[in-house]
Amino acid sequence: LKCWPFSLAADLLGTVMRVALLPFAACADVCTLPDEARVDCKIGDQSGCEAAGCCWSPKDADGLPWCFYSAQQCSLKYTSSGAPFSSTEMEKIRGYFRKNIDINGTGAIIASPDASWMDGAYLFHWERDGSLTMQTVGRTDPDKAYVKTTFQNYVKWVNKVQNQPDPNGIDILSEPKYTIPSGVPYTGDWCRPQKDGPAL
């Protein structure tokens, strides 16, 4: 099995769009695994499941995905010698990627703009994911004017959110996510402190 080499396409897709790649992220030799290690590929039929490179194994247990990949071992299934995406496809992917960046000129990066997905749980700016996204913008986007403007707005956003009183009673740099567009830290239940964001 050949796994996808590191490339511009992998770099771009591997950041914000990693969820979209989950169905393609299984290797055929990891289909025998404990039930708890199954990660749902979210494909409901065998032919579509296997075509996406996922494992298919129907089970009667409640909540157990029939189409899955392994949480323990995973690599992209790509065996062609050519580029994985055409230039037209890459521009389409880049367009979707950009829609999550610099929301309304605030500099914020939204994890998911879909309010219906996970009951809107990802309508936030994550400190860590935002920094990784901006790293990808700088490394892969050919439009230097766009990169400059986006980075300027992102720096303003970070300066704003990291220099305010923390409503959760911790160091503001340890907050994992912020509301958009206000930049106020999320005050609901969440795992905190998280200290990996500012370092990135």
φ/ψ (deg, to 5) at 160: -65, -50
Alpha helices in the chain (DSSP H): 8-13, 18-21, 46-51, 87-98, 127-140, 144-161, 196-199
DSSP character for 119? G
Cis peptide bond N-terminal to 193, omega within 30: yes
Distance CA 168, CA 179 (A): 14
The whole-number pLDDT of residue 60 equals 77
The whole-number pLDDT of residue 73 equals 52
Distance CA 180, CA 77 (A): 36
pTM for this model (two decimals): 0.60
The whole-number pLDDT of residue 2 equals 33
CB neighbour burial string for 20-38, b if at least 16 within 10 angstroms, e if fewer: eebbbbbbeebbebeeeeb
φ/ψ (deg, to 5) at 185: -60, 145
**Spatial CB neighbours of 36, under 8 Å, sequence gap ≥ 6:** none
Where residue 140 falls (left for φ over 0; alpha for ψ -120 to 50; beta otherwise) is alpha
Query: Per residue of the chain (200 residues), what is the pLDDT tens digit?
Result: 333 333 444 454 444 344 344 334 434 456 887 888 888 888 888 988 888 888 898 887 778 889 988 765 555 566 667 777 888 999 999 999 999 999 999 999 998 888 777 777 788 999 989 999 999 999 999 999 999 999 999 999 999 999 999 999 999 999 999 999 999 999 988 888 888 777 76
Amino acid occupying residue 117 = W
The whole-number pLDDT of residue 20 equals 41
The whole-number pLDDT of residue 191 equals 82
